[in-house]
Amino acid sequence: MKEKVVLIPLHLTLNYPCDYIDQTAKILSKKNLVILYDFNNLVSWKKIINLKKHFLIIKKNLKLIKNKNKGIVYFQSPALLPFQKNSIISSVNKLLGFIFISFLLFIFKKKLIIWQFFPLATSRLIKLIFNQKYIYDCVDYLDIEIHGQKVINEEKKLIKLADYIAFNSKPLYKKKLLENKILKNKKTIITVCGTNYPLFNLKPELNKNNIAIIYGVLDYRLNTLLILKTIKKLFDWHFYILGPIQKQGREAISNNFSKIIQQENVKYFGHIPKNNLKEYLKKAKVGLVPYNTKFNFVKYSNPMKVYEYLAAGIPVVSTKILSLEKYPKDIIFTTNNVNDFINAIKRLTNDWNIEKIKKAKKIAKNNSWENKIKIILKNININ
């Protein structure tokens, strides 16, 4: 049998705060060769002409792809046509790049599996050209209001073409089924969220100070009015807010967010590397997910931070995100009512104990990256 290669097209940068691409590649690379294909950053003509080292990098990666049975290779192919800034030429170059790497894998006698997280027309064409196994790992609901009609159309084509489609929650699957009847006849997998359990698995600790934590990319998803009212009402609590303000959502949250960070009981720390988050979680008594559920992107999400909070041994209070409603209310409480949100913070933390910490950690561990990938691989018969 040909050796297996998992090709993951990158639509986000590596080390992005929501690091599902990095973590998926890490788990898969234990038994397979994983190629992280950066089709957005092709090696330009200018670099090819002036810098010999780019040829050497590509040559080195080709050697790794040819000879390695497992591990991770980050790959950029050359932009074969000049004038990359032209949108049509850019699209053609991306397509040629996919054909280039697929042809190489064919020559090297590697069995290719495309593992994709976001609808991309160019990588979809590889399935049509080379008839490779195709997995759509659906981690988010793509909202027309946020992502646009073009992306929605591409996702419909991807769903039709994919051999397997994995969803990280049952509510997300049900919503997609309503919009894509073809899913009834597709091989679908309902898996779990995926979280870095070992990183956030902190030693159980009670009797902490009244500190609530909110972190992640700060954008349009935040219900800033809810946060502001909660902070003002819980004046005897301290609130830690961590994360970069995303440009896309700066205007949507700017006014209320400025008021939030001006409150005396709030500390805003800005961007904190993921590996350093546990230092703040050690001090926190509760984790908050105050998102605006008027967006379907939020309503049908399965936030990774929830399971990071649980792994750290603290309860979660969230707005009404559907994937979280199946869990015990004394571990994860969801509501869109401001007073209920505030009361839940006090109630869950007052009643928190070692037994509940164990339950929280069990939920988090069940949502580990290892478990998510294991469920998918079991259903597609590869390991």
pLDDT the model gives residue 2 = 47
Q: Which two tokens stand for residue 205?
A: 């600790």
CA 310 to CA 284: how far, in whole Å?
A: 11
Q: What is the pLDDT of residues 58-116, one digit of tens each?
A: 666 667 676 677 888 888 777 767 776 777 877 777 777 777 777 777 666 677 788 99
Tokens 């297996």 -> residue: 4
Q: What is the pLDDT of residues 199-237, one digit of tens each?
A: 999 998 898 999 999 999 888 899 999 999 999 999 999
DSSP H or E run through 110 = strand 110-116
The pLDDT of residue 254 is above 90? no
Q: What is the pLDDT of residues 17-59, one digit of tens each?
A: 789 999 999 999 998 889 898 877 777 666 555 556 656 666 6
Strand, coil or helix: 212: strand
| Helix, strand, coil share of the chain (percent; to 5) | 50, 20, 35
Asked whether the beta carbons of 71 and 109 are under 8 A apart, the reply is no
All structural domains of the chain: 3-194+368-380 (3.40.50.2000), 197-366 (3.40.50.2000)
Which residues have CB under 8 Å from 68's CB, separation 6+? 33
Q: What is the pLDDT of residues 269-319, one digit of tens each?
A: 999 999 999 999 999 999 999 999 999 999 999 999 999 999 999 999 999
The pLDDT of residue 1 is above 50? no
Q: Is the pTM of this model over 0.85?
A: yes
Asked whether the beta carbons of 341 and 335 are under 8 A apart, the reply is yes
Q: What is the pLDDT of residues 123-182, one digit of tens each?
A: 666 666 666 788 999 999 998 888 888 889 889 988 988 999 999 999 999 999 999 999
Dihedral angle of Cα 138, 141, 146, 147, to the nearest 10 degrees:
30
Tell me which of 71 and 1 has the higher pLDDT. 71
